[in-house]
């Protein structure tokens, strides 16, 4: 792409129909703010400058983008008050060098593809006004593309200003254009608001171009989702499904088996090796990597984790690595109803069963915690068997402490290991024990009250 490409993103609107206190462009699609999808597209174009026009909720929008693109080179201009699309782009003029091509995008149109915009810029060629257009069966609300008898673009007429014949036109302007910066700046200076909405229309630049003999060309596409904007929760939901369907189709083209593409959500980055199987209602957030032959059962949530080859994630498992990440080793079996929290690092063939929670702990090859257990801040050796109902008491009310369980240890059911403590290799902890001191290798450790049995004991009865 040319190094002299600048992108203007209009993101000043209130989004009244969203019925939300959150600025419209900060509502999320696939786990990411709408405007971030557009900024990411601008970056894929290798734009020299990206200028975001803010207005409603400007402080909030700008703060969110600065946090997401600390080194991204974004520039901001504010539109106060909001007097139309032409007025919005006018605010970007001080940031636009004369030697570039300007691509105008909307912060609430998140699914425009990079190759579409590259084709639009090529159609512009550095000296023409290029418009991205599409045909709709129902073009209500869109600016109509009016062509001359020879087929040349003659004008864009906004819906509210169109006559009956013009409203019958099905080709509409998407809101996206590519235009030489020097000409755009001159045309913006000539805009007026003599129209039905008393706004400064960016589309009026078409009549200026025609008057000056500048060719106006249309790059027409057929994919409606690429130009669909978000003005209501219903439209956002429709675009979410469109996005997820595309992600599912792309993964299936690469050989991933997705049981039902309509019940599949990626809210980040999902990387899959061969022969991955994903059942229904699974959600993938952050960055998730699935190795060869991984199987993910129904109703799982996986975030910021690496699942290595051959592992099975049984239904209703929740894995979230947050900043520390989670790794599940080759051939491991996780779930159902398991929870892996940040810092869980599981080796090959580890078993984590139902209602087991692991946090900031490493489990070596073949270790097992099959039911109703908690492992926090623990180092677990190979082939350890960790009993049902057992926990590591890792927090003393002020600080976290580590538990070390060496190789081949057997922890009985319903035990409490009070950290810091080490259970020596090959040792056994009897069921129901509370262990507060480290144990020697190979030792049997039992720490519980002596059993007392009273023969023929009668339970108390209620007073009548």
In a domain, 186, yes or no: yes
Bond preceding residue 420 cis, omega within 30 of 0: yes
Same domain, 206 and 283: no
Written as six digits, the tokens of 447 are 């720490």
With a threshold of 0.75, does the pTM exceed it? yes
| Beta partners for residue 378, in sequence order | 403
Which pLDDT value is given to residue 195? 84
Q: Which residues are catalytic?
A: 371
Cβ contact 236:27 at 8 Å: yes
Please state, in angstroms and rounded to a whole number, the distance separating the CA atoms of residues 280 and 267.
15
In a domain, 432, yes or no: yes
Same domain, 131 and 11: yes
In a domain, 376, yes or no: yes
Q: The domain that contains 390 carries what CATH number?
A: 2.160.10.10
Bond preceding residue 285 cis, omega within 30 of 0: no
Nearest Cα residue to 28 out of 283, 268, 320, 245: 268
In a domain, 120, yes or no: yes
What is the full DSSP assignment across 204-243? GHHHHHHHTT--EEEEEE--GGGG----SHHHHHHHHHHH
Same domain, 182 and 275: no
Same domain, 370 and 421: yes
Same domain, 53 and 108: yes
Which residues, including other chains, have CB under 8 Å from residue 59's CB and lie 6 or more apart?
A: none
The CA-atom distances, in angstroms, between 278 and each of 56, 67, 283, 298, 327 are: 41, 33, 10, 8, 18
Cβ contact 364:407 at 8 Å: yes
Q: The domain that contains 44 carries what CATH number?
A: 3.90.550.10
Same domain, 281 and 321: yes
For the chain, the C-alpha Rg in angstroms (whole number) is 31
Long-range contacts from 207-210, C-beta under 8 angstroms, 24+ separation = 207/155, 209/129, 209/183, 210/154, 210/155
Please state, in angstroms and rounded to a whole number, the distance separating the CA atoms of residues 89 and 69.
22
Which pLDDT value is given to residue 1? 46
Which pLDDT value is given to residue 150? 84
In a domain, 131, yes or no: yes
Which pLDDT value is given to residue 72? 63
Which pLDDT value is given to residue 71? 65
CB atoms < 10 A from the CB of 311, how many? 24
Same domain, 347 and 290: yes
**pLDDT tens, residue order, the chain (464 aa):** 445 999 999 999 988 999 999 999 999 999 999 999 999 999 999 999 999 999 999 999 999 999 999 766 799 999 999 999 999 999 999 999 999 999 999 999 999 999 999 999 999 999 999 999 999 999 998 899 999 888 889 889 988 889 999 999 999 999 999 999 999 999 999 999 988 888 999 999 999 999 999 999 999 999 999 999 999 999 999 999 999 999 999 999 999 999 999 999 999 999 999 999 999 999 999 999 999 999 999 999 999 999 999 999 999 999 999 999 999 999 999 999 999 999 999 999 999 999 999 999 999 999 999 999 999 999 999 999 999 999 999 999 999 999 999 999 999 999 999 999 999 999 999 999 999 999 999 999 999 988 899 999 998 888 87
Same domain, 69 and 184: yes
Same domain, 292 and 358: yes
In a domain, 240, yes or no: no
The CA-atom distances, in angstroms, between 94 and each of 262, 305, 314 are: 45, 44, 56
Helix (H/G/I), strand (E/B), else coil: 245: helix
Please state, in angstroms and rounded to a whole number, the distance separating the CA atoms of residues 176 and 103.
7
- Give the relative orientation of helices 34-44 and 114-124 as an angle to the nearest 10 degrees: 60
In a domain, 373, yes or no: yes
Long-range contacts from 315-324, C-beta under 8 angstroms, 24+ separation = 315/279, 319/344, 320/285, 321/286, 324/360
Same domain, 295 and 362: yes
The CA-atom distances, in angstroms, between 175 and each of 131, 134, 143, 437 are: 8, 11, 9, 70
Residue span of the structural domain in which 76 resides: 5-227
Same domain, 221 and 262: no
Cβ contact 302:321 at 8 Å: no
* Tally of domains in the chain: 2
In a domain, 148, yes or no: yes
Among 207, 227, 247, identify where a domain stops: 227
Same domain, 212 and 266: no
CB atoms < 10 A from the CB of 408, how many? 19
């Amino acid at each position: 792409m040319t190094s002299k490409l600048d992108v203007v993103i209009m993101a000043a609107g209130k989004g009244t129909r969203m019925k939300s206190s959150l600025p419209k462009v900060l509502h999320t699609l696939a786990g990411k703010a709408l405007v971030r999808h557009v900024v990411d597209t601008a970056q894929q174009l290798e734009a020299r400058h990206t200028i975001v026009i803010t207005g409603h909720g400007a402080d909030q929008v700008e703060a969110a983008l600065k946090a997401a693109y600390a080194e991204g080179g974004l520039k901001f201009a504010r539109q106060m008050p909001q007097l139309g699309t032409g007025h919005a782009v006018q605010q970007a003029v001080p940031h636009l060098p004369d030697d570039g091509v300007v691509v105008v995008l909307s912060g609430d149109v998140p699914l425009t593809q990079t190759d579409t915009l590259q084709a639009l810029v090529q159609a512009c060629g550095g000296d023409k006004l290029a418009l991205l257009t599409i045909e709709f069966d129902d073009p209500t609300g869109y600016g109509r593309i009016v062509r001359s008898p020879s087929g040349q673009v003659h004008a864009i007429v906004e819906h509210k200003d169109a006559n009956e014949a013009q409203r019958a036109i099905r080709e509409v302007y998407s809101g996206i254009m590519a235009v030489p910066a020097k000409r755009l700046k001159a045309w913006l200076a000539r805009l007026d608001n003599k129209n039905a909405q008393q706004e400064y229309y960016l589309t009026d630049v078409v009549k200026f171009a025609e008057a000056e003999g500048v060719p106006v060309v249309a790059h027409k596409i057929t994919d409606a989702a690429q130009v669909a904007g978000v003005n209501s929760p219903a439209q956002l939901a429709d675009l979410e499904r469109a996005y997820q369907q595309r992600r599912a189709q792309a993964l299936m083209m690469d050989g991933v088996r997705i049981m039902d593409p309509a019940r599949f959500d990626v809210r980040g980055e999902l990387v899959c090796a061969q022969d991955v199987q994903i059942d229904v209602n699974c959600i993938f957030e952050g960055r998730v990597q699935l190795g060869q032959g991984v199987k993910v059962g129904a109703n799982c949530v996986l975030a910021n984790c690496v699942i290595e080859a051959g592992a099975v994630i049984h239904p209703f498992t929740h894995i979230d690595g947050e900043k520390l990440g989670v790794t599940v080793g080759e051939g491991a079996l996780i779930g159902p109803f398991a929870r892996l929290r940040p810092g869980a690092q599981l080796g090959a063939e580890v078993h984590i069963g139902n209602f087991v929670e692991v946090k900031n702990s490493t489990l070596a090859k073949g270790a097992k915690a099959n039911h109703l257990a908690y492992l926090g801040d623990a180092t677990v050796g190979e082939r350890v068997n960790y009993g049902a109902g057992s926990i590591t008491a890792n927090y003393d009310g002020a600080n976290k402490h580590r538990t070390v369980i060496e190789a081949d240890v057997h922890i009985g059911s319903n035990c409490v290991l009070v950290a810091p403590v080490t259970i020596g290799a090959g040792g056994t902890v009897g069921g129901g024990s509370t262990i507060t001191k480290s144990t020697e290798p190979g030792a049997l450790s039992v720490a519980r009250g002596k059993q007392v049995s009273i023969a023929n004991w009668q339970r108390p009865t209620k007073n009548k």
